[in-house]
Amino acid sequence: MQSVDECSLGTYQCDSNADCVDTAEGYTCRCKSGWTDVSADPQNAPGRQCRKAVDECSLGTYQCDSNADCVDTAEGYTCRCKSGWTDVSADPQNAPGRQCRKGNQCASVDCASEAECRETAAGPICQCGSGFVDISRQHGRPPGRVCRIVVDECKENKHDCSSHASCIDTAEAFTCRCNDGFRDDSPNPSRPGRLCNKADHIPQAPECNVNDPMSCDKSKAEVCLFIDSTYKCTCPQGFGRLPDGRCLARNECDNSRLNDCSPDADCIDTAEGYTCQCKSGFADISTSGKTGRLCRRRVNECASPQKYHVDCDSN
């Protein structure tokens, strides 16, 4: 059977900047000198798409840190912080080597054993790992120094709240709050909600003008609602009233509209509100100073070095 020379017949599908090479099996394509093969399947179908090779590293048109090496790639270039320098770039996954800092700053940071140290442009920071909540502030320490395993005593019924009180999980442990209509007579002020007695007199909510936003006490988060044939100042739906008269959401974590945690973070209810913690497998890249608002999946760049333009050789 006579072989067909697709190259001579012009029936090949090579890029215009590739040479057609006849083979016994058919043909193959080879990008010309000075052109880079960026075909979708360069192993089985090379030379289908060729792009002019531009070496930004040689031309000096790169944006690497002065203490990073520019590495030319088929797609462009990447930057790699030099030995002894730590990558503290704003986006180290997609744009590494833009900002490098001398030495390993995390080596001298006293993070808790349950926390991880992360290099940032502002310096090293400690972040409690998934399944732990940061209670460093309660101990007068910087973030990530004291981490407590997340235990919900309320759900596990490991609390001693009164049967007329609500149990609220907190970073430290839990607290109790007497239900509406009950007076807190707990003997220890630091352990509220242990003894709740029915209140003899429940003050009536003051009337309000629905058209006047100042007719209710905004400092208490009160709203003007239609109650018992008239408008009165009361706590919004889903909120309870604290002993000092303030309204506080019972559990912002039960309603996603009441919290701004990332979809990839766990919402942890506390006595004074809530906190957010990125889930396992996700890194906290929040920039607002509040944890768990922006989480990104951790990526092992060395598992796909070509995709992330990295060199993971032991050297």
- Is the overall model pTM greater than 0.75, yes or no? no
143's tokens: 């973030």
Compute the distance between CA of residue 309 and CA of residue 79 in angstroms, rounded to an integer: 9
Compute the distance between CA of residue 284 and CA of residue 137 in angstroms, rounded to an integer: 18
Mind listing the pLDDT tens digit for each residue in 260-279? 899 888 888 776 678 888 88
Same fold, 6-52 and 56-103: yes
Torsional sign, CA 10, 16, 19, 21: negative
The pLDDT value given to residue 155: 84
The pLDDT value given to residue 315: 39
Query: What is the DSSP track for 222-280?
Result: -EEEEETTEEEEEPPTTEEE-TTS-EEES-GGG-GGG----TTEEEEEETTEEEEEEPT
CATH homologous superfamily for the domain 56-103: Laminin (2.10.25.10)
Whether 112 has a pLDDT exceeding 50, the answer reads yes
The pLDDT value given to residue 61: 87
The CA angle 252-149-127, to the nearest 5 degrees, is 80
The pLDDT value given to residue 70: 93
Please tell me the least confidently modeled range out of 95-109, 224-238, 239-253. Answer: 239-253
Stretch 83-88: mean pLDDT? 82
Given a contact cutoff of 8 angstroms between Cβ atoms, the answer to whether 87 and 81 are in contact is yes
Mind listing the pLDDT tens digit for each residue in 8-65? 998 999 999 999 999 988 899 999 987 888 898 989 999 999 887 788 888 888 999 9
3-state secondary structure of 95: coil
103's tokens: 């030495």
Average pLDDT, the chain: 82
Give CATH for domain 6-52.
2.10.25.10
The pLDDT value given to residue 201: 60
The pLDDT value given to residue 183: 83
Nearest to residue 137, comparing CAs of 270, 309, 312, 301?
270
Mind listing the pLDDT tens digit for each residue in 184-243? 888 888 888 999 988 776 566 788 888 887 888 888 888 888 877 888 888 887 677 766
Domain boundaries, the chain: 6-52, 56-103
Given a contact cutoff of 8 angstroms between Cβ atoms, the answer to whether 220 and 226 are in contact is no
Stretch 69-87: mean pLDDT? 84
202's tokens: 């429940």
Radius of gyration of the chain (CA): 31
Mind listing the pLDDT tens digit for each residue in 120-150? 766 788 988 877 888 888 788 888 999 888 7
The pLDDT value given to residue 111: 92
Kindly report the backbone phi and psi dihedral angles of residue 306, in degrees, each rounded to the nearest multiple of 5, phi listed first. Answer: -70, -40
The pLDDT value given to residue 90: 83
The pLDDT value given to residue 203: 61
Confidence category of residue 74, pLDDT binned at 50, 70, 90 = low
Higher-scoring residue by pLDDT: 112, 138: 112
